[in-house]
Structures are given as C-alpha cells and as structure tokens.
Amino acid sequence: MRLVTWNVNGLRACLGKGFLDFCREADADAICLQETKMQEGQAEVPLEGYRQYWNSAEKKGYSGTAIFSRMEPLGVHYDIDAPGHDKEGRAITLEYPAFYLVTEYTPNAQDGLARIAYRMEWEDAFRAYVTGLDRKKPVVICGDLNVAHNEIDLKNPGPNRGNAGFSDEERGKFGELLEAGFTDSFRHLYPDLAGAYTWWSYRMNARSRNAGWRIDYFLVSRRIQDNIKDVVICDQVYGSDHCPVLIDLEL
C-alpha cells in the first residue's frame, strides 16, 4: 500500500503547479492533503478512481484538509471529538478493515508563540483521540505536524531554539505522542540521515540552499512499524513550500 501526504499551501494554486501530474505519477492508494485553503467544489480535482473527502475551515481560504482515496472506507470521521477543535478543518479519519488513516494539520504556534496555549490544547486532544483509535486497530497518522522533533530535523537548530515549530513545548508534545505508542516512520528507517527536509521558507532562497525543516510526517502504531517498507521525501516536487512525503506500507 502506498500513501502520500502533502501540505499543498492552497490546493487551487497547487493545481496549476503540477499537482495532478505528481498524483498520477505517485500512483498512491490514498493522497492526504493539508492547508487546502478552499471549500469543496471551489475547484475541480479530476483524479479518476479516487473518492474525495474534505474538511474545510469555517474561515474561507484558511487551513483545511482532504483525503483522496481509491479504497472505499468503512467510515469517515471529521475532526477529533473535542469541543473547540472543530472550526478549522484540521483532521479527517478514514476507517479501513485493517487500520485507521488520519490526516492532520496541526495548528501553528505562530510568531512569538502567540498561539502556543491553543497548540498545547490541540496536542493533548489529538493524542487522546488517536490513542483511542489505536486501542481498536492500528493507526497511520500523516500530515503537517508543524514541529521539527530533533536538531537533525532542521538546518539551523541553534538560532531556531524556542521559535514556533522548534520550541521545547512543541517538541515535548511530539515526544509524548511517540511515547503513547507511535513510531516516526522516516526516522525508524533513516535514524541518522541529515539534510532531509519537507518545508522551506520562501525567503532567502531557502529551498535552493536546502535550509529546511522536516515537519511533515507519517507516524504509525508501534506494533506495525516493521511493516514500513520505505518512506520517501519527494523534495524534487514543487508546487508548495512543502514537498510530498510517500510511504510504502504492508497492511
């Protein structure tokens, strides 16, 4: 089984920058998107053979997630069963016979950690939600989790210590999620690989210099970590300030 996650930073714009070509070439069983910045129906996404599931923010042009899946799910669930966390379209869960697939767009803590309190609330609610799923069957979590876990996961850890995406608070919550029974699939296969990033600022030619961050993930229930066959960061694919990440998984 092949799955893709991609923060497209506005799907309507990404459609004009090779999105469909990449999806057809990837030939994935499911394509999970974050930061769609649109409502369903605002643009046609002509991917034949894929069922489309959308969770859009109430605020137009903001946040939003989607999953395009060739596999018909047993059920579809939106958001994370937590009051106050259902306005920004940040999560979708598809249930399949052997596993749950969850795509998530974690709230950004923002400059000066202005939204860190809300971020911490989200982290706790999300962890409770996915651990509840994990008690029933294995879970695959993917998306823009808006945190570089360790120093190896960003180009310049020193100057960024304490900034949004690399604060002790955010890194600690990511660690709590792993400790709750999940595995960072990329680091499971490539524990010491440096220079592997999924997001680059549009400023200062960051992408051409590979001055990036790895903040887009596939996490899997620990009991299926040996089913991970490969994880590929598709850093030669453009169209967004993030690149797609692909996982091959036996389920």
Q: Which residue is catalytic, options 105, 129, 197, 217?
A: 105
Active-site residue, 53 included? no
* C-alpha to C-alpha distance for 94 and 59, rounded to whole angstroms: 24
Exposed (0-12), middle (13-18) or buried (19+): which is 36, by Cβ within 10 Å?
A: buried
Catalytic residue among 29, 144, 184, 235: 144
Contacts for 67 with CB less than 8 Å, ≥ 6 apart: 30, 31, 32, 33, 52, 53, 92, 94, 101, 103
Whole-angstrom distance, CA of residue 247 vs CA of residue 251: 12
Dig out the tokens for 244 from the structure.
Answer: 């797609």
Burial class of 3 by CB neighbour count within 10 A (0 to 12, 13 to 18, 19+): buried
144 has catalytic annotation:
yes
Q: Which two tokens stand for residue 213?
A: 């961050």
- List residues with catalytic annotation: 105, 144
